Structure 1
Amino acid sequence: MGSRYDRRMSGGTNACVLGVDIGTTSVKCCLVDTITREVISSQKKDTCSNVPSELGTEGNKQDVPRILSALQLCVSRLPRETMKRVVRVGVCGQMHGCMLWKAGSAWEQKPDSDRFAVNEVSNMYTWQDSRCSQDFLATLPTPHSHLAVSSGFGCATLLWFSKNKPEILTKYDRAGTIHDFLVCMLCDLDQPVMSIHNAASWGFFNTVTKEWNKDVLVGAGLPQELLPKVVDSGKDAGKLPNAWYGIPAGTPVLASLGDLQCSVLPLLNKNTEAVINISTSAQLCFKMPQDYSPAEAPPKTHQPIEYFPFFDGSYLAVAASLNGGNALAAFVRTVQQWSLDLGFQVPQSKIWQRILELGGNVESKSSLEIQPTLFGERHCPGENASATNIDLGNVSLGKVTRALCKGIITNLHSMMPRSLLEENGITSIIGGGSALARNPILLQELEEAYQLPVALDSRGDAAYGSAIAAINAMQK
């Protein structure tokens, strides 16, 4: 494992790893003991990083310096003495999105300082960005990959800029996810190094040959220098050239990973288990047999189930819904706005507390049905949200809340039904994610819809999973 690891094991104190997750709404980091795999310390902070898009509701972008400032604040609050024992860093983040930067001028670590200043970067265009209409996507070439391309995917977003705002691309010469950028910054890399997780989530990447569809992308107008180098998930991207908040110089940093795969990694112990994660969005997945090999081309029409690369050459069968905690958050914002319109100012925390109390009452069940697809779905992007079976008796706040929670689970069940789980030998479900952990109504509806044992596991956390991936990398 190397002399550095051995030295830090001396004195009866175990080495540890740092795990980082850059999520859609928050950042989190944790220190994990390499032997016990227990969390030693963790920090989390909301980023409040959304910025208005020039495209209105069709765009979704975030301020990169604000996100990385929040992350560095979290890291700075971890115990410095423990940080000195970090032997590897694992990083993951929200999949599909992209940002651009200029090599040589995108960041600066001032002398005698841990903190990086971020300059010369674009906004981060998130997985929720919908600037790539179905008409635009139809103009793109067919990928040489089993995964179809949707709006919000990195390559699709970059091709949109190439065709509609080419002046944006001329300002930069590097691109990656925001967690790729973080790794690049930490290791002072000239060229970003991306894991297969993130490359697959960008589109136009063949997970079997482990290569970009370069000819296809360049032919469609994407500058080749914007394509990151790709390595197997779990491999190192580089090393820290300088100490960072106590972590010694020379510490290896993994190429950044997908947050879905990292949230699943600590939970998926048996092939008879499926994992559900409900945070901003929602995913239900299970591991395919080790000999599974994906098709050579995407399906002619988008399917509700896709096959994402996992670790060690394996794949996950995934129903990835765009509607999870974000649909509930939109409902809370609406209730808050109605209150303001009536002349009352109610904090969102109070609204959350009250609707979960009302919706959790057994009398909140009703015939009201809510289709929660406020953000569409990749397999049916034009679908809107709707409510049916409305009557005078089922429009109370509690019953609407209950119907919305049920709708989120019902929508996911329509994508990956119980029968499919049974066909693949799944006998139980492990649950994780902030929305599922905080909302007992979702858990009740999940158990009712799938009629399978469901157990919550707090280890279903992407930051913790990135730390576990770092530990696993050390043991190979």
Structure 2
Amino acid sequence: MKTVYIGSDIGTSSVKTVIYDKNFKQIDKISQKYSLISNQKNQAELDPDEVYNSVIKTLETVIQKCNNSNFKVEFISFSSALHSMIIVDENNQPLTNCLTWADTRAKDISGDFKAFYKNNSVYSRTGCPYHSIYLPAKILWFKQNKTDIFNQAEKFISIKEFIIYKLTKKYSIDYSVASGSGLLNINNKKWDNKLLSFLGIGKSQLSRLVDIYKTYKIKNTELLKGISLVVGGGDGPLANLGERALAENQFAATLGTSGAIRVFSDKPVIDAENQSIWCYLLDENTYLPGGAINNGGIVLEWIKKNFFESADDYYKLIDQYIDEVPTGSKDLFFLPFLTGERSPNWNPDARGIIFGLDYNHSKKELIKAAIEGISYRMRTIKEALEADSSTCNEIILNGGATQSKPWMQLLADIFNARVIVHENEEAVALGAAMIGAIALGIYDDYNSIEFNHKKRIVLEPDKKSAKKYNQLYKFHKKLYDNNQHLFVEANSV
């Protein structure tokens, strides 16, 4: 009987559940999309029950496939997107939808919250800058605006905690996801007492902290009952793990719906002066400084919805336009802040700008300018990390952008660095499977895991394009700097 591992990545727009053999070679993958709820300004929610049902559907499908193939399933290990929040009542029923990382309603909370962050060194303890993406701001927003829901809150949990509870009847949160909540003291690995006191909530309203290797037996659904469930971690840390970017100077980038660049460290890395980066955890002893942008593929989806709705070959057109349109998109610039911005400026008020538009521009230039704008924002993160780490000449890339070779070349040129793509398509799910194998004692640690991790694509920067993009990047930053004050002012016009 063949032994297999299952890694399941609960993302913002879909769940991807992957079957791996014992050498971590992908055997099969099942995906299930779910709908983002955004009926109001700054709203970005998921229906937690829809997400749960989607997860169960993919899990049951792969388990059935394993049973039909006479495979022995060793475990199911989870990853999930960071920064999500659901409020549940005393009966464990959701009082809210799941607020995702893209939900920015909390940017307008009132009072002295920002001053509290600064005066109490919250960033230095939690590794999370002041921003509406994190749970402290979201919790405070409900306290100020939805008092009835806040007063009924039995627990504040993430989407992974919601799913694990329904499968095991246990409320547990791993250090990895907890570190992305903004509520965890990453130095002592405990919930931050000062922050909880300011918010007016208690530790009992948060889940039990466990390591990423914590294992339960599934108690729910007939097909899954009795299978070992490994709690796993957050998608960013597990993406780095799945890409085997284990050294302290190995940068791993994810560019999908949003984007991020991260690097492992054996100690906390904090930019106390600028607070340009965050610092999360993989496990109790492994830190992950990095930065993230809100606006990656979500910008391309917006363009498709508004300008290419009927185009079945939309993503082929993107590749074509990147190749056809000259570097710099004929002096057209796209600041891609459709959902505010995170690193390195942490500006939830940031909004999109199309600059330099003239009569000779078309949809071709608009698309390439958007791709360039997203890529410039990724470079800002690279530079912020390099300021607190070592210089990076090589970036391991994963995410949806790896489906576009022209975009990957454009990234290499804008980064002025080698871009590597490994053959595994789902780095996050693979990272979850690696955690599961360690949790069950199959391997001792990350470095003891041996499998063929081949480089599928290696792209070197084109010197001429890199030089041109360096000039354009400086102008892109100038555009942002000169319009910062207008973002806030525009909200009150």
Give TM-score, length-normalised by structure 2. 0.79
Whether 2:31 is the aligned partner of 1:44: answer yes
Kept in 2: contact 1:30–1:41 (CA 8 A):
yes
Distance between the aligned counterparts of 1:79 and 1:225, measured in 2?
A: 35
Once the two structures are superposed, the pairs formed by residues 379-390 of structure 1 within 5 Å of their partners are 379-390=346-357
* Aligned equivalent of 1:25, options 5, 10, 13: 13
Distance between the aligned counterparts of 1:385 and 1:150, measured in 2?
A: 19
Once the two structures are superposed, the pairs formed by residues 61-140 of structure 1 within 5 Å of their partners are 61-80=45-64, 82=66, 85-102=72-89, 106=93, 120=94, 122-136=96-110, 138-139=112-113
Kept in 2: contact 1:358–1:397 (CA 8 A):
no
Report the residue type matching 2:72 in the other structure.
Answer: R
User: How far 1:214 moved relative to its partner?
Assistant: 3.0
| Superimposed CA distance per residue, residues 23-58 of structure 1 (whole angstroms, 9 cap, x where no aligned partner) | 11111111222x31112221001112x2345xx212
Whether 2:210 is the aligned partner of 1:231: answer yes
Name the counterpart of 2:258: 281
- Residue segments in structure 1 that go unaligned for 5+ positions in a row: 1-12, 107-119, 337-345
Report the residue type matching 1:236 in the other structure.
Answer: K
User: How far 1:389 moved relative to its partner?
Assistant: 3.0
Report the residue type matching 2:282 in the other structure.
Answer: F
Name the counterpart of 2:285: 313
Kept in 2: contact 1:273–1:427 (CA 8 A):
no
Kept in 1: contact 2:106–2:132 (CA 8 A):
yes
Distance between the aligned counterparts of 1:418 and 1:148, measured in 2?
A: 14
Report the residue type matching 2:80 in the other structure.
Answer: G
Once the two structures are superposed, the pairs formed by residues 363-374 of structure 1 within 5 Å of their partners are 363=326, 365-374=329-338
Once the two structures are superposed, the pairs formed by residues 195-344 of structure 1 within 5 Å of their partners are 195-232=174-211, 234-241=212-219, 244-245=222-223, 247=224, 249=226, 251-269=227-245, 271=247, 272-288=249-265, 290=266, 292-294=267-269, 299=272, 302-303=275-276, 305-311=277-283, 313-336=285-308
Distance between the aligned counterparts of 2:255 and 2:104, measured in 1?
A: 21
SS in 2 for 1:149: coil
User: How far 1:273 moved relative to its partner?
Assistant: 2.6
Report the residue type matching 1:441 in the other structure.
Answer: P
Decide whether aligned partners of structure 1 residues 452 and 159 sit closer, same or farther in structure 2, where only a CA change above 3 A counts: same
| Superimposed CA distance per residue, residues 212-260 of structure 1 (whole angstroms, 9 cap, x where no aligned partner) | 123431342225432111122x221522235652x451x3322241111
Distance between the aligned counterparts of 2:29 and 2:173, measured in 1?
A: 25
Name the counterpart of 1:427: 393
SS in 2 for 1:360: helix
Kept in 1: contact 2:17–2:29 (CA 8 A):
yes
| Superimposed CA distance per residue, residues 68-126 of structure 1 (whole angstroms, 9 cap, x where no aligned partner) | 222222222225262562222211111101112245554xxxxxxxxxxxxx5531011
| Superimposed CA distance per residue, residues 181-224 of structure 1 (whole angstroms, 9 cap, x where no aligned partner) | 111111122xx110111111111210121111234313422254
User: How far 1:167 moved relative to its partner?
Assistant: 1.0
Report the residue type matching 2:64 in the other structure.
Answer: R
Whether 2:433 is the aligned partner of 1:467: answer yes
% identical aligned pairs: 18
Give TM-score, length-normalised by structure 1. 0.82
SS in 1 for 2:126: coil
| Superimposed CA distance per residue, residues 98-157 of structure 1 (whole angstroms, 9 cap, x where no aligned partner) | 112245554xxxxxxxxxxxxx55310111111112553842633343322321322321
Kept in 2: contact 1:194–1:256 (CA 8 A):
no
- Residue segments in structure 2 that go unaligned for 5+ positions in a row: 445-493
Kept in 1: contact 2:5–2:433 (CA 8 A):
yes
Report the residue type matching 1:47 in the other structure.
Answer: Y
User: What CA RMSD, in Å, does the superposition of the two structures yield over aligned residues?
Assistant: 2.7
Once the two structures are superposed, the pairs formed by residues 351-362 of structure 1 within 5 Å of their partners are 351-361=314-324
Name the counterpart of 2:418: 453
Distance between the aligned counterparts of 1:241 and 1:422, measured in 2?
A: 45
Name the counterpart of 2:481: none
Runs of 4+ in structure 1 off by over 4 angstroms are: 103-106, 362-365
User: How far 1:390 moved relative to its partner?
Assistant: 3.0
User: How far 1:432 moved relative to its partner?
Assistant: 0.5
| Superimposed CA distance per residue, residues 10-32 of structure 1 (whole angstroms, 9 cap, x where no aligned partner) | xxx34222211111111111122
Instruction: Give the structure, 1 or 2, with the largest relative contact order (CA under 8 Å, sep 6 or more).
Output: 1
User: How far 1:312 moved relative to its partner?
Assistant: 5.4
